[in-house]
Structure 1
Amino acid sequence: MVRRFLLAALGLATTLMSVDALAEGRADMPVDARAWLARVHEAASLRNYQGTQVFTAGGVVSSSRIAHYCDGSQQYERVDMLDGQMRRVFRHNDTVYTVWPQRQIAVVEQREPLPPFPALLQAGGDRLTEYYELMSQGSDRLAGYDAEVFLLKPRDALRFGQRLWAERSTGLLLRTDVLGAHGEVLESSAFSEVAIGVRAQPETVLQPMKKLEGYRVVRPAVTATQLEGEGWAMKQGVPGFRQISCVKRPLTAGLPDVGRNAGPAEVLQTIFSDGLTHVSLFIEPFDSQRHQRPMHTAVGATHTLMQRQGEWWITVVGDVPTSTLKQFAGALERRK
């Protein structure tokens, strides 16, 4: 699994010994990035914790209740959305259930999800320090815990920076801010309250996954493929980003408001990651009724670019500057 690969690649066993020395470091000084990043990743994967997360972006605030348990090699996670339409997410290892109780719909997928807060690293995290510099910015107190504060400063203009608050004794992320080019906060994820080291309760995840009587259970047919095999290619890569997956999936999978027969049957999705953030590129047949004009939107750090390319409609989305999305769109070409 990606988690095991990242821990090995970051040299966890040999670098954690130097972490405690950082507490005495001066703000804005370089730190042992591999040690702290490995510690943060380990805490999100292997610690038991539960709490309330608050997400702020574009003037909109939302909250969710998160519980994560690790029992030996088994991981369990439950996320309850506390605002808007009721939605719950249950995960046991790479099996993910997304449940809409009011609509009696459950979407079941087999995937290793891109890590949400408080996880940090993605596939390709072993090369993270090539594109970001980790700087210490002193200490703080958050959600009742002492925290070390770090800045992940991008080495180019293709990506956003992040400020991290890591709980001092465990490394669990308590808050992350995504920062714009001038240091402004574009979006923020933080625990308003959290308990670390709680007793594992896997039954609170497994039991709801089994109780779906009366639900319409959707199991999207996701097929692994290759961009080139589907007749596409990237003329050149975007520096720092590595392709980590390419699949064909039903366009409406996981969207309870869309009818079963709406839209084209499949969309091609390719995900690229630099180890900290990711960009998703979607390709679908052009439909004049739905695809009326090119668009660019931004909500917090998430930018979306949509445009026509011949008989196809291209959507590129990610927590990166618009110029980065344009590089991805410009590099994509049809080969057959």
Structure 2
Amino acid sequence: MAMPAYGFAEEKTAAYWLERLGPALNMTTYRGVFVYARGSSVHSMQIAHRYHKGVVEERLVLQDGASGEIVRRGMNVVCVLPEQGKVQLEQIIPSGPFAEALASQLVPLSRWYRAELQGEGRIAGYDVVIVALTAKDQHRYSHRLWLEKSTGLLVKSHVRASGGEVLEHFQFTNLEITDDIPDNEFEIRSEGREISRTLNEEGAQADSQNGFSSASRMQGWHLGWRPEGFEPATAPSSGKGQAVAFSDGLAAFSVFVEPAGAVHMPTGASRIGATTIYMRHMQSENNAFLVTVVGELPPASARQVAESVRIDEAFVLGASDQ
């Protein structure tokens, strides 16, 4: 397929690069080192990624702080935890465009973001194009993406607040795009406690094909409001409570509703990079509940989501039995 000339309409050209982004995240074979900064936290990780016989294989190794590694083959993920601590994956793995959600499907981002080309450059020795995704409302952040020209691979990204402040930053500092990565680069080498999990992609697809969504998992509570464009995606595990994730195709947030424990959790908003955590206590029929909103929302929007939660009688009765 011939690459469109830059003389074509800017919107069409930006859309072309966004269409290439999703497949490139999984189907490009490469190795390198990237830096990911979220707030005051900065991590460096080594990565080997291969698309081999229709299966995605990946090995991530922490380069600073605690040791540890993550190895993925298809939908199976093994995380090796060091003896001295736990690898907090959600604090290390970039969100937004680097996440699995964007790699698995093409979404109509143009309704919620204005896409435009902003020039060219070089990152880690490769020629890139720069695509800006500017949020059209105050309920989401803007993004800037640097995509490698020959593959469409994301090699750098920014998540930005409405005032232009960079909240999260991802960038390859060393990169080799190659089809020649041997099997031994995907073998676990660290010693430590192993935790395995299977990504629930097939279950989510089955729900969608059968006309069901994660909204049906909101058993006992519902949202009175959420930002337009955020649709039910997956249902994270939440112990004894109920949880549902929502995504607009680029950003995502989760809502957790659970009986309040004996330990009194602080309420209000905190933010790490582009991730807001908003916690709220609420009472229903003399039962206490904790509502938590976590994700890529501005604090004011996360608060509005949390305050819209309404708990049904069935959930109250279930909490009374625990």
What's the counterpart of residue 241 of structure 1? 230
Deviations 1:216-269 (A, max 9, x none): 65769x99976555211122442010101124344xxxxxxxxxxxxxxx3433
Structure-2 change in CA distance of 1:31 and 1:216 (3 Å): closer
Shift of 1:96: 1.4
What is the aligned counterpart of 1:314 among 278, 291, 305?
291
What is the aligned counterpart of 1:30 among 11, 15, 18?
11
Distance (whole Å) between structure 2 residues aligned to residue 136 and residue 144 of structure 1:
20
- Compare 86-95 and 196-205 and name the one that shifted more: 196-205
What is the aligned counterpart of 2:247 among 273, 276, 291?
273
Matching residue's letter, 1:48: T
- Is 2:293 the counterpart of 1:305? no
Shift of 1:79: 0.9
Alignment TM-score, normalising by the size of structure 1: 0.76
What's the counterpart of residue 3 of structure 1? none
What's the counterpart of residue 256 of structure 2? 282
Percent sequence identity over aligned pairs:
28
- Is 2:61 the counterpart of 1:80? yes
Contact 1:30 1:135 in 2 (8 A): yes
Question: For 1:195, what is the secondary structure of its paired residue?
Answer: strand
Deviations 1:122-150 (A, max 9, x none): 67742211111111111111111111111
Shift of 1:154: 1.0
What's the counterpart of residue 302 of structure 2? 325
Cα RMSD for the two superposed structures? 3.2
Structure-2 change in CA distance of 1:229 and 1:282 (3 Å): closer
- Is 2:137 the counterpart of 1:137? no
Question: For 2:297, what is the secondary structure of its paired residue?
Answer: coil
Matching residue's letter, 2:232: Q
Contact 1:68 1:76 in 2 (8 A): yes
What's the counterpart of residue 230 of structure 1? 219
Distance (whole Å) between structure 1 residues aligned to residue 118 and residue 87 of structure 2:
43
Distance (whole Å) between structure 1 residues aligned to residue 107 and residue 85 of structure 2:
41
Distance (whole Å) between structure 1 residues aligned to residue 27 and residue 104 of structure 2:
17
Question: For 2:233, what is the secondary structure of its paired residue?
Answer: strand
Matching residue's letter, 1:270: V
Within 5 A, what are the aligned runs for 1:113-192? Answer: 117=98, 121=102, 125-192=106-173
Question: For 2:234, what is the secondary structure of its paired residue?
Answer: strand
What's the counterpart of residue 36 of structure 2? 55
Matching residue's letter, 1:58: G
Q: Give unpaired runs (5+ residues) of structure 1.
A: 1-15, 108-112, 251-265
Aligned residue pairs total 292
Distance (whole Å) between structure 1 residues aligned to residue 26 and residue 96 of structure 2:
10
Shift of 1:32: 3.2
Matching residue's letter, 2:221: W
Distance (whole Å) between structure 1 residues aligned to residue 182 and residue 309 of structure 2:
46
What is the aligned counterpart of 2:77 among 80, 96, 99?
96
Shift of 1:294: 0.8
Within 5 A, what are the aligned runs for 1:254-269? Answer: 266-269=240-243
Shift of 1:58: 1.9
What's the counterpart of residue 262 of structure 1? none
